[in-house]
Amino acid sequence: MAGVNTPYLIIDLDKIERNARTVVDLCAQHGITVTGVTKGVCGHPGVASAMLRGGVASIADSRMKNIQRLRNACLDTALILLRVPPLSAVNAVVELADLSLNSELPVLEGLSAAAIRTGKTHDVIVMVDFGDLREGIWPDDVIAFVREAISLEGVRIKGIGTNLACFGGVVPSEANMNQLAALASEIEHRFEMTLEWISGINSSGLELITSGRMPRRINHARIGEAILLGRETIHRKPWPDTFQDAFVLHAEILELKQKPSIPVGERSEDAFGHLPVFEDRGDRRRALINVGREDIDINGISPRDSRIDILGGSSGYLVLDVTAVKDHIAVGDALSFTLNYSALLAAMTSEYVTKYTLNGSAHSVEQ
């Protein structure tokens, strides 16, 4: 794109809005409210706004810097801290986030003290671990946890939740969602309270919803990848009526030459301590482009031109085999790539990648 420094990431906000609409409509048919998750885009306010136009009820992010960025953008919505808060940051959490996900009593006590000091009420979701082994209280310990938590002033238990398919790869199922719902009922019964949110799923739960087996009690979802990249996350299949290319990375050809396909000379490790393996395919036409491991997950990007192969990369270069493209490319051309979640995360985080947003006929460059 003329006048924009390479490499750059084009963010199509209309596609994100439409992806959000598809997910929100599906969830609404099953009585599920959707919070849009922006941690894959560093809390990008434009992306959050597109999600909100697409109908999400609130925005969540895992990092306080991103929550601050979203807060500064004055979006008219509640902001949720998705990663369990650090004890050292309870004051900032109460100040900047409307709700946080929690699993530790000392942290809840800190949030309580911070809330009392500022005269606020801080909402919390109590996270339960149903076997994925990332954050959350083990189910057996939840009742004791809630008994302590309800005595704390300034914090209000808005609901309970669980996160699956993130660390252990555990699939959300009718069984574990029923366990969550049963635990919610037990808490309500024992402590004579109402839990507003039973927050069961992320993008890995969409198939369970469409299968019709999602228990009715589950009424909240926290969705990132399905909105950003148009995929459910159990099989990483494209989700119907969503775009997979709301984000497209463009990098520029710096060098284009015919070279052998195996290195010449005695060999040791590459720049990252690996011993690369090469296949002798004779002389090949190779392109160097100006993105590398510092900007992307090199296993997580796909050339939009399927004739191009990624051979590997170092911190600042990606090496491509472009033999099949013949003479249709030249030094100075930009090549485009779609991204998976980890590549998106890296590209959004890299200050070397310019972010360029499209919004109807309007567009703007950042950084």
Of the candidates 12, 207, 225, 252, which one interacts with ligand PLP according to CB under 6 A? Answer: 225
Convert residues 79-118 into a mask of x (bound to ligand PLP by CB under 6 A) and - (unbound).
---x------------------x-----------------
Shortest distance in whole angstroms from residue 341 CB to ligand PLP: 7
First and final CA of the chain: distance in angstroms? 16
Token reading at 126: 């109590």
Q: For residues 194 and 187, give the distance between their C-alpha atoms in angstroms, rounded to a whole number.
A: 9
Cα gap 347→293, rounded to integer Å: 10
Nearest to 298 by CA among 342, 331, 265, 258: 342
Coil, strand or helix at 114? helix
CB of 226 to ligand PLP, least distance (A): 6
Dihedral sign, Cα of residue 296, residue 297, residue 298, residue 302: negative
39 is catalytic: yes
Torsion of CA 54, 56, 60, 61, to 10 degrees: -20
List phi, psi (to 5°) of 216.
-60, -30
239, 232 in Cβ contact below 8 A?
A: yes
Q: Which is nearer to ligand PLP, 6 or 38 (CB)?
A: 38
**Is residue 37 within the footprint of ligand PLP (CB under 6 A)?**
yes
Nearer to ligand PLP, 224 or 313 (CB): 224
Contact residue for ligand PLP among 49, 100, 202, 338 (CB under 6 A): 202
| Closest distance of CB 150 from ligand PLP, Å | 22
Among 39, 158, 286, 355, the residue binding ligand PLP under the rule CB under 6 A is 39
For residues 113 to 152, the per-residue mask of contacts with ligand PLP, x marking binding by CB under 6 A and - elsewhere, is ----------------------------------------
Query: In 3D, which of 131, 138, 224 has the Cα closest to residue 170?
Result: 131
Q: Considering beta carbons, is residue 202 or 323 the nearer one to ligand PLP? A: 202
Contact residues toward ligand PLP (CB under 6 A) are 37, 39, 62, 82, 101, 163, 202-203, 222-226, 233
